[in-house]
Amino acid sequence: MLLDHDGAAQHQDDDPLDPDRKFGTVGAVALDANGNLAAATSTGGMTNKQAGRVGDSPLAGAGCYADNESVAVSCTGTGEVFIRTLAAYDIAAQMRYGGRSLQQASVNVIHDKVLELGGSGGLIAIDRAGNVALPFNSEGMYRGFARVGEPAEVAIYRES
């Protein structure tokens, strides 16, 4: 199974992804001036997906989750694994019940739980204090964030 952000998918001679019809996940998380957290996730689906497949994006807690008490999260990647781990909600639970920081919880989900089940992908998240996490275990992940009065930061690969 190849995801849009897998290096293998983009370096094959018989590329399974049509560059003119390639769409991926678009996620957004926000913290407003009143302390409200919000998350949104939209996906173009997965290349060569089986008919009737339902991904993680529309399932609360799997690919998208927000709670004013903890965090807003939007995920991208191997949807079946994000569903099995309830990845987005698990970050909130680790923070709320386990006392982990946003960075600790996000890295645990992406680099431990998702990876252990053979999943690939990443997430964007912001907590109620304005901390941002952008971990991923794939070759790259389009990502960025901005704060009022500061320049936006964008990246694709780890070294970015």
* Active-site annotation, residues: 25
> How many domains is the chain built from?
1
The model's pTM: 0.80
The two three-digit tokens of residue 38, written as one number: 């919000």
Q: Is residue 50 part of a domain?
A: no
What does the pLDDT profile of the chain (160 residues) look like in tens digits? 555 555 544 445 455 444 544 446 889 999 999 999 999 988 766 555 666 656 666 777 888 999 999 999 999 888 889 989 999 999 999 999 999 999 999 999 999 999 999 999 999 999 999 999 999 999 899 999 999 999 999 999 987 5
Q: Is residue 66 part of a domain?
A: yes
Q: Is residue 19 part of a domain?
A: no
Residues near 26 by Cβ (< 8 Å), separated by ≥ 6? 41, 42, 43
CATH number for position 81 = 3.60.20.30
Domain assignment of residue 36, given as a range: 7-12+25-45+55-143+152-157
Q: Check if the beta carbon of residue 63 is closer than 8 Å to that of residue 57.
A: yes
Q: Is residue 20 part of a domain?
A: no
Q: Is residue 133 part of a domain?
A: yes
Q: 3-class SS at 132?
A: strand
